[in-house]
Structures are given as structure tokens and as C-alpha cells.
A and B are shown apart, each in its own frame.
Chain A
């Protein structure tokens, strides 16, 4: 049997093969229902290069009201981390899946166990928004052993020395937070953001994907001009929430995915 490709390798391949900025949409596992989130992920998989799958958490410090409320609804319906990993397993034939999960979820049953389950579900990478690079040592080793890339985050407040440290330990890609704030705000393409992306790319050898506050195809295209990819999260959740029924939500997700993917291919 061939040695399975590591998550980092699979992610690297996607970036190398695309030749254009990648589209990384976010789906909250269990929102608005477990079945619907699996369906939305499958629909987005047709347009996306990487799927980011969120594990709902009771106290999501990095998230604004939209993702908080979606996560709470998912928890109220009994969504468990294992349910979200099952969605990932269902996407094995599609683009690579990275899981976004808070640190307490990772360590609750033991980090090695969680990472092993993620690897079994075919998860390529894991994003832990409350695990900064200086606290990540043990987890990085466990993730590497499991073949799951630990995706680091960088922010506008990250100084050059930390960018360097993040770059040295980065696997897969680095998630660059576009705004000083929580998810769901609104980014503006300006010199400050351009300088931030430029600074990140100078220090970080792996691809840099930008997220937080990206809402429209036009913003995605602008980010695509300077970065290796774009994450869109809260806006997708908001549109699903505004849809009058499940069929309409599916249609909204498909339409949005098509629009963003088109903007990044143009």
C-alpha cells in the first residue's frame, strides 16, 4: 500500500496546481442542521479549492455574532465534534478539508485522539484560532505525526519577529487575519491591508490565505490579486440564515460559490 500523502502535501499540491488564488469557503458543522451543513459543504466542494469546516464551540473568542449564533444553534441541536468529522469523511473525494476548532475541543478527549480521528476522516489541516504559535509545540508534533497540517494564524498586530516564527513553523498555509477584530466584520482593501499581506508573504514561505470580513466577489478578487487564497465564512452563514427554506439555502450557497469561484478565476 502506498504511504498516504500528508495533509500538508495535499494542501501544497492544491496551491501548486491551481495557478490562481484559491477559494476557501467555510461551513459551520451542524448549522442550520447537521444534514444541511453536509449538503452545503458538498455543494461548495464543487466550487471550492479547500473546504473549511467549523466545529461549534461554546465560547468562540475569535468569532463575531454571526458565527457565534450559528455555532450555538448547532450545539443546541446536539452537534458533536465527531459529527463534524463525519461530514469531513463524506467529502473525501472532493477538495482537501481543513477543520477550524477551538483548542479545548482538541484536548477534551486528548489531542492525539482528536488528531487521529481527524486524520481518519481525511482532514488535511486543522486551524485552532486560540492556539498561538508559542503555545503550539506539543500539538504541532502530534499533528505532524497524524499527518494533519497545523495551520497557523497571523494578524495585523503580528510583528515581523512573530511573522518570522510563524513562517518557520508553518505547514500547509498560513491564515492571515485581514482585520484587527473578530470574524464577520468588514474588510476594506487599502494600503494597510496590502502592506500587511506583503509583509506576511516576505516572512512566510508557505501560501498566505486571507480571511475575516470578506463578503463579495469583488473583495475576493481584490484579495486574490495580492494573496494565495481567500476564506469566506460569516457571509455564507448570513446568507444561509436569511434563506426562507432549505431548498432556497442550497440555491443561495450554490450561487454564492459560483460567484466567488468565478471572480477568482477571472
Chain B
């Protein structure tokens, strides 16, 4: 059995020679342990008793009615995972791999901070030192997660390069890895980066799709007509899509950051980008004609990324997944509707998926399943300011 290195023409390992040995080592470890009963059992126990899996499948009846969703609107509640988002599924899997590889130190990049918190959590659990690279801009807009990571014992390392967002944090984490590769494992948080990372992350996140498929069959007696997830690098999306890729009748939709609108600044790599190499893999990318990587923009730090995972690029070209986008403004209004009608504060990232569902309701085949990838506790400062909601009397 071998690990997928490319998805169609996308993926590969475009990294400095220094880390090729570590990628080989990770590939071997993953091949050895992914079906190893001890590994699966240790991860399975943690997913059940620590993360809280399986996460619930919830029917959002009030939004369903308000938005006129045919056949019902369902949320896969990854927001109820320990640490508040799907990111913990991958962080735990990779930290257990790192331990088996004998690594002494964990590093990670983070945008919204959810992957950083998940990695800090998993590192604390197994007793490994952890440093998280985070753009300065993101540290300000996701302040609460910075504090959480520090409480969990991780070192949060600010990155000032570029726009101080996820792209810059990822570059800096890769540089650390190039330097400390012999004893450090780099836990990439999205389905991006050099092979074998996109496959490993997708595999650890595929639990979302596997559970969802079973739960929809149990709850509705049928598969969903449409599955919708937000896409930055694309880890929650690939996780839920993997449960349905072989079900040709299930329509899959990924929603990218439309930012200020596609004529302004945005993060819609699959809509407006072109293939190129960023962070070790060949995939769609926002870039100028000379190949300089563009700065993305999104109200949500987790979608503020100019690249996307290579499997999404392949699924786009195949036409198996449709990629759409939602603007900052539309995501914020969907965020508020979800708060008010369902009593669920969604992550701003997830709100992009909700916005798509609302704005395309008339064209959707139901039931509609949305990956509620994370909760919005981290976003209350930023969303409150944007929406004019504060704590003053």
C-alpha cells in the first residue's frame, strides 16, 4: 500500500532538499501505522473520549424554514469537538505519529488559531514541546486563541513577513522545519503542503465524512442531495467530501473566501487562481503573471490563504466538486442569522458555507448537509465589531 503523492497533476514535493528525508520518514511512518491496530485503537479512544466523537448530526429547522431549504438542512457538528473545530482530528493523529517517530518537538502554523490550539492541546496531552507560528495580523484578530495556546503551554511565535497571515506563518513554519528537521515534526493543519501531508490530513479528517454518511442514512434514510463546506486550504471540506466522493448523485460544493468581492481582495484560489507552486505543492494559487504569490484577503483568518490543497484542484478540474465563494459581508450576515435562529455561533469560516446555502437555496437539491467546521467563540471580538455588537451598557 502506498501513500498518494499526487492528485492528477497536483501535489508533489517542491521543498528544499533538506526536508526530503523527513518527508520520506513521515511517509514510511504513516504507511506503517495508518492501519496498525495499536495506532488506530489509541487514536480511536482519544477521538471518542477526548474529542467527543462521533459529533452530532443536527437538523437546523429554523434556518431551514427561513431560507427555504428543500429536504432539510443538516449540520455536521464539528464545532462540538474538543477545542472547538475539526482541526483536533488531524492534530491528534499527527501527534501520535510524531511520538512513534521519536520526535521531541512539534511545530505548526495557524491562521484562525484553531489548528494552533488543537496542536497545542495534542502536544500537551502527549508531553511534547510545541511552537506555533502565527501571523501578526491573525494574532490580533484571533486574540483569544493566542491566549488559549499560551495557556496550553505552547510558544506562539509572531510572523511579521508579508501580510502577517496564514501564508506567511506557513512559510516560517517550513523554515523552522528545514532547520530543526532531525528532531522536530511539523504538523500541517490543512490539506496542503508537500506530499504526504495532503493525504495524511485528508485521511485524519475523513472521519467527518464517514460519520456523516452513516448519520444521514440513519436520520433520513437517504444520502444528502448536497454537501457544502468552506475551503481555505480545504481540510474540513476534503474530510466531509471523502465520505461522498463515490456517491455520484451527491453534489459537493466548496465555498471559498470571496473577501471584498472577486473584483477586489479575496481568497478564491480555485475561482480566480492558476496552477503554481506554493508551500511545497503544485495547486491552484493566487499569483501575479511572474509567479509572485498574491496576498489573499478574508474576514476569516482561516480562509485568508492564496493557495488550496492539491486534491481540491484535482476535484475542481474533474468537475466532481463545484467551488463557489461568499463575500465577507454575506458571511457575516449568515453568521448572525445562524446565531439568532439556531442559537449556534458558527466560526466565520463556516459562515461562508452557510452564506452559500442561503443564497443558493432555490437551486439546491436537498437534503443539504453543511460541515459546521468550527464554533465562533474565537470570532466574537471581530464579528462583534463588524456587526456593531459590543459589551457596553
A and B bind: yes
- Residues of chain A at the chain B interface (Cβ within 8 Å): 57-64, 68, 72, 75, 80-81, 102-109, 129-135, 153-159, 162, 177, 180-182, 185
The residue from A61, A105, A133 contacting B178, defined by CB atoms under 8 A apart? A61
Interface of B is mostly: mixed
Cα A132 to Cα B15 in complex, Å, equals 7
When A68-B161, A180-B179 are in contact, do A154 and B291 touch as well, CB less than 8 Å?
Answer: no
Task: Mark B224-244 against chain A: 1 for CB-CB distance below 8 A, else 0.
Answer: 000000000000000000000
Cα A107 to Cα B291 in complex, Å, equals 8
Known: A104-B285, A104-B291, A106-B291. 6 other contacts (CB 8 A): A57-B291, A109-B289, A109-B290, A132-B15, A134-B20, A157-B18
When A72-B161, A132-B15, A177-B17 are in contact, do A81 and B290 touch as well, CB less than 8 Å?
Answer: yes
Q: In the complex, what residue of chain B is closest to A166 when comparing beta carbons?
A: B17
Pair A157/B279 contact, Cβ less than 8 Å: no
Pair B278/A62 contact, Cβ less than 8 Å: no
Q: Which residues of A contact B182 (CB under 8 A)?
A: 157, 180
Pair B19/A157 contact, Cβ less than 8 Å: yes
Listed A/B pairs (15) with beta-carbon separation below 8 Å: A57-B291, A57-B292, A61-B171, A61-B175, A61-B279, A68-B161, A75-B292, A104-B276, A104-B287, A105-B291, A108-B276, A108-B287, A131-B14, A132-B14, A153-B17
Pair A130/B175 contact, Cβ less than 8 Å: no
- In whole Å, how far is B284's beta carbon from the nearest beta carbon of chain A? 12
Pair A103/B277 contact, Cβ less than 8 Å: yes
Task: Mark B7-33 against chain A: 1 for CB-CB distance below 8 A, else 0.
Answer: 000001111111111100000000000
The residue from A60, A130, A153, A185 contacting B280, defined by CB atoms under 8 A apart? A130
Question: B266 at the A/B interface (Cβ < 8 Å)?
Answer: no
Question: B167 at the A/B interface (Cβ < 8 Å)?
Answer: yes
Task: Mark B287-319 against chain A: 1 for CB-CB distance below 8 A, else 0.
Answer: 101111100000000000000000000000000
Q: Which residues of A contact B289 (CB under 8 A)?
A: 108-109
Pair A182/B179 contact, Cβ less than 8 Å: yes
Question: Which has the most chain A C-beta neighbours within 10 Å: B15, B16, B179, B278?
Answer: B16
Q: Which residues of B contact A107 (CB under 8 A)?
A: 276-277, 291
Question: B181 at the A/B interface (Cβ < 8 Å)?
Answer: yes
Pair B293/A135 contact, Cβ less than 8 Å: no
Interface of A is mostly: loop
Question: B174 at the A/B interface (Cβ < 8 Å)?
Answer: yes
Pair B17/A155 contact, Cβ less than 8 Å: yes
Pair A181/B12 contact, Cβ less than 8 Å: no
Q: Which residues of B contact A131 (CB under 8 A)?
A: 14
Pair A104/B293 contact, Cβ less than 8 Å: yes
Q: Which residues of A contact B181 (CB under 8 A)?
A: 157, 180
Q: Which residues of A contact B285 (CB under 8 A)?
A: 104
Q: Which residues of A contact B13 (CB under 8 A)?
A: 132, 134-135
Pair A154/B277 contact, Cβ less than 8 Å: no
Cα A57 to Cα B174 in complex, Å, equals 16
Pair B278/A158 contact, Cβ less than 8 Å: no
Going nearest first, the 9 A-B pairs with the smallest beta carbon separation are A108-B291, A181-B179, A155-B18, A104-B291, A157-B21, A58-B292, A62-B16, A58-B293, A155-B17
B128-175 residues with Cβ-Cβ distance < 8 A to A are: 161-162, 167, 171, 174-175
Q: In the complex, what residue of chain A is closest to B293 when comparing beta carbons?
A: A58
Q: Which residues of A contact B278 (CB under 8 A)?
A: 59, 104
When A58-B293, A59-B171 are in contact, do A103 and B21 touch as well, CB less than 8 Å?
Answer: no
Q: Which residues of B contact A180 (CB under 8 A)?
A: 18, 178-182
Cα A61 to Cα B279 in complex, Å, equals 8
Q: Which residues of A contact B167 (CB under 8 A)?
A: 59
Q: Which residues of A contact B291 (CB under 8 A)?
A: 57, 104-109
Pair B22/A105 contact, Cβ less than 8 Å: no
When A58-B162, A59-B171, A131-B14 are in contact, do A158 and B280 touch as well, CB less than 8 Å?
Answer: no
- In whole Å, how far is A92's beta carbon from the nearest beta carbon of chain B? 23
Cα A237 to Cα B18 in complex, Å, equals 23
- In whole Å, how far is A80's beta carbon from the nearest beta carbon of chain B? 6
The residue from B178, B180, B279, B290 contacting A59, defined by CB atoms under 8 A apart? B279
The residue from A58, A68, A81, A153 contacting B16, defined by CB atoms under 8 A apart? A153
Pair B18/A61 contact, Cβ less than 8 Å: no
- In whole Å, how far is B198's beta carbon from the nearest beta carbon of chain A? 15
Cα A60 to Cα B17 in complex, Å, equals 14
Q: In the complex, what residue of chain B is closest to A55 when comparing beta carbons?
A: B290
